[in-house]
Amino acid sequence: MTDDTRNSIHTGQDAIVEALGKGKLKRVRKLVRPMHPGKLASLLEALEPDQRQTVWQQVADEDEAAVLRHLDPQMAATLHRDSDHGDVDADLHDQEENVFTHIGSVRDALQAGKYKRVGKVFRHMHPAKAAGLLEALPPDERSAVWETLDSERSGKVLVHLHEEVRAKLALEMDDEELVAAARKLDLDDLVDLIQALPSGSGRQLLLSMDEQKRKQIAEMLSYHEDSAGGLMNVDHISVRADVRIGSVLRYLRLLEDLPDHTDKVMVVDRKNRYLGVLRLSRMVTSLPEAKVSEVMDDEFKPISVESSSHEVARLFEDLDMLSAGVVDGDGLLLGRITVDDVMDIIREDSERAMMNMAGLDEEADMFAPILTSTRRRSVWLGINLITAFLAAWVIGQFQGTLEQIVALAVLMPIVASMGGIAGSQTLTLVIRGLALGQVVGGNARVLLIKELGIGLLNGVLWALVVAALAILWFGSWQIGGIIGAAILLNLVCAALAGLVIPLVLRRFGIDPALAGGVILTTVTDVVGFFAFLGLATLLLI
Does 387 lie in the same domain as 327? no
**Domain assignment present for 362:** no
Q: What is the mean pLDDT of the chain?
A: 82
Does 405 lie in the same domain as 351? no
What 3-state DSSP class applies to 140?
A: helix
Structure letter (DSSP) for residue 172? T
Asked if pLDDT for residue 363 goes beyond 70, the answer is no
Average pLDDT over residues 513-527: 86
Does 47 lie in the same domain as 98? yes
Does 106 lie in the same domain as 191? yes
- Give the pLDDT band (50/70/90) at residue 487: very high
Does 185 lie in the same domain as 260? no
Average pLDDT over residues 4-33: 69
pLDDT confidence of residue 379: 74
Does 107 lie in the same domain as 25? yes
**Which residues, in sequence order, are CB contacts of 23 under 8 Å at separation 6+?**
143, 144, 147
| Span between the terminal Cα atoms of the chain, in Å | 104
Does 464 lie in the same domain as 337? no
What 3-state DSSP class applies to 330?
A: coil
Query: Do 123 and 153 meet the contact criterion of CB atoms below 8 Å apart?
Result: yes
Question: What is the tens place of the pLDDT at every residue in 114-147?
Answer: 777 777 778 778 888 888 888 888 888 888 888 8
**Which residues, in sequence order, are CB contacts of 383 under 8 Å at separation 6+?**
359, 518
CATH number at residue 262: 3.10.580.10
CB neighbours of residue 399 within 10 Å: 10
In the chain, the number of structural domains is 3
pLDDT confidence of residue 471: 92
Q: Examine the fold and report which residue of 175, 202, 226 is the final residue of a domain before the chain moves on.
A: 226
Alpha helices in 243-398 (DSSP H): 245-254, 280-284, 292-295, 309-319, 339-356, 370-396
Asked if pLDDT for residue 85 goes beyond 60, the answer is no
| Range with the poorest average pLDDT among 350-364, 453-467, 477-491 | 350-364
pLDDT confidence of residue 485: 94
Expressed as residue numbers, the domain containing 440 is 370-540
**Domain assignment present for 44:** yes
Asked if pLDDT for residue 358 goes beyond 70, the answer is no
Does 256 lie in the same domain as 176? no
Asked if pLDDT for residue 7 goes beyond 70, the answer is no
Does 445 lie in the same domain as 318? no
**Domain assignment present for 11:** yes
**Domain assignment present for 364:** no
pLDDT confidence of residue 512: 82
Instruction: Tell me the range of 33-42, 422-431, 482-491 where mean pLDDT is highest.
Output: 482-491
- Give the pLDDT band (50/70/90) at residue 466: very high
- Higher confidence at residue 413 or residue 23? 413
Question: What is the tens place of the pLDDT at every residue in 287-339?
Answer: 999 999 999 999 999 999 999 888 898 889 888 899 999 999 999 999 999 99
pLDDT confidence of residue 90: 47
- Give the pLDDT band (50/70/90) at residue 249: very high
Asked if pLDDT for residue 472 goes beyond 60, the answer is yes
Asked if pLDDT for residue 360 goes beyond 70, the answer is no
Query: Do 121 and 92 meet the contact criterion of CB atoms below 8 Å apart?
Result: yes
pLDDT confidence of residue 355: 65
**Domain assignment present for 233:** no
* Rounded Cα gap, residues 335 and 238, in angstroms: 10
Does 256 lie in the same domain as 215? no
**Domain assignment present for 211:** yes
* Rounded Cα gap, residues 69 and 392, in angstroms: 79
CATH number at residue 90: 1.25.60.10
Phi, psi of 172 (to 5 degrees): -80, -15
pLDDT confidence of residue 278: 94
**Domain assignment present for 231:** no
- Give the pLDDT band (50/70/90) at residue 167: confident
pLDDT confidence of residue 212: 81
Question: What is the tens place of the pLDDT at every residue in 264-288?
Answer: 999 999 999 999 999 999 999 999 9
pTM, whole model, 2 decimals? 0.65
Q: Examine the fold and report which residue of 195, 226, 257 is the final residue of a domain before the chain moves on.
A: 226
pLDDT confidence of residue 105: 78
Does 124 lie in the same domain as 242? no
User: By percentage, how much of the chain surpasses pLDDT 70?
Assistant: 89
Q: Examine the fold and report which residue of 226, 256, 281 is the final residue of a domain before the chain moves on.
A: 226
Average pLDDT over residues 454-466: 93
Does 399 lie in the same domain as 344? no
Asked if pLDDT for residue 87 goes beyond 70, the answer is no
CATH number at residue 466: 1.10.357.20
Question: What is the tens place of the pLDDT at every residue in 20-30?
Answer: 777 777 777 77
- Higher confidence at residue 106 or residue 470? 470
Asked if pLDDT for residue 182 goes beyond 90, the answer is no
Which amino acid, residue 84?
D
Cα 528 → chain centroid: 38
Structure letter (DSSP) for residue 127? H
**Domain assignment present for 232:** no
